[in-house]
Structures are given as C-alpha cells and as structure tokens.
Amino acid sequence: MGKRIAIIQGHPDADPARYGHALASAYGRGAEEAGHEVKVVHVAALDFPLLRSAHDWQEGAAPESIRQAQAQIAWAEHLVILFPLWLGDMPALLKGFLEQVLRPGFAFTKALPGRPWRKLLKGKSARLVVTMGMPAFFYRVFYRSHSVKSLQRNILAFCGVDPVRVTLIGMIEAAKEEARGVWLARMSALGREAR
C-alpha cells in the first residue's frame, strides 16, 4: 500500500530551471510510479507575511495559503523538504514558512505547567534534501551539518516527526550533467521507497 507524501519545495526562486525543482520532480515521479500519493507545496508561490511577535505565532490567524499547506502536511505520512543552503542555513522564506505553518495547535500543543507538550505530527517521517555550493563532506565534517541538525532536532523532532533522514548534495554549481543525472536517479529511487 502506498504512502501519502507531501513534498515541500523550499527554494525561494520559483524558476523551474533551478536544479532543486528537478530533484523534487524526480522524487515525486518515482513515488507516483511506485503507487504513492504525492502533493507538492511550492513555498515560493505562497503569499504569507513573516511573523513578528510571539503573540502572532501563538494567537494570530494563519493566512489561507498556510492553512492549505497545513492541510497537506496533516494529510501526509511522509514529508520531503528540499532547499538550498544559503549563508549556512535554509533560505529565509522557508524559515518564515515553517514558522507560519508549525504553529501551536497544529504541530504541537502548548505545555501546561509541569507537563510536556504534545507532539501533534507524530507518526510522520521526513527526508531533507539540501543542495550546496561546498562539498557535502566539508559541510558534514567541518560545519557538522549544524543547520540541518537544528532543523531535525529543534523543529521537526519537537513536533514529533521521526525518523528524519538527510540527503546532502554538494558542489551543485560545479556539477556536470552526468553527476546531476545520478542525483536525479537517486531522488527517483528514494521516491519509489518513500524514504
């Protein structure tokens, strides 16, 4: 039986020529060929403001585009989040999206005094696909994948998403067509496995 998969395309540039879009498409095609259901959230196409206070995050009404994204995330059993590494972290637009979408009441419940919060996204798994200009090995060893680990631990695990697997794709600007083709094939295989 197939899984329900939500692909969150976190590249802030909607230009389809961006390699990240090809990676997302390859994953989605592989998943659909294997009988999985796929929905895609294109963060670059959404209209939402940045949150500017804890009150807005906790009590404010989510914009319609965010409510639609929340519905797709709630529907999904597996999340795939793709983004380029910019200044050592996810692009600001994706971070703003995650702040909007992972609100109290949707992603977790607020903790009562002396009680732990409830993780409302339990039962979901995720795959992070991160492209970067530096070698992936260098990011993993020298920078210790700091920003990706932060996303895994401080955001996704906080909401109950587990396991979270990571694919790092380095030297993206210098990659030749053959290497890009290899990565597209890997994404398609991961999509077929819904991993």
Q: What are phi and psi of 148, to 5 degrees?
A: -70, -40
Mean pLDDT to the nearest integer, 163-180: 92
- pLDDT of 114 > 90? The answer is no
Q: CA geometry: angle at 131 spanning 152 and 171, to 5°?
A: 135
Distance CA 56, CA 42 (A): 23
Query: pLDDT tens digits for 2-24?
Result: 999 999 999 999 999 899 999 99
Burial (Cβ within 10 Å: 0-12, 13-18, ≥19) of residue 158: middle
Distance CA 30, CA 67 (A): 27
Q: Which helix (H) or strand (E) covers residue 82, if one does?
A: strand 78-84
Tell me the residue type at 181. Answer: G
Q: State the pLDDT at residue 24.
A: 98
Mean pLDDT to the nearest integer, 169-189: 93
Mean pLDDT to the nearest integer, 102-129: 91
Percentage above 70 pLDDT, the chain: 100
Query: pLDDT tens digits for 31-52?
Result: 999 999 999 999 999 999 999 9
Q: State the pLDDT at residue 115.
A: 77
Q: Residue 112: which pLDDT band, with cuts at 50, 70 and 90?
A: confident
Residues whose CB is less than 8 angstroms from the CB of residue 114 and which lie 6 or more positions away in sequence, other chains included: none
Name the token pair of 17. Answer: 């020529």
Specify the pTM: 0.95
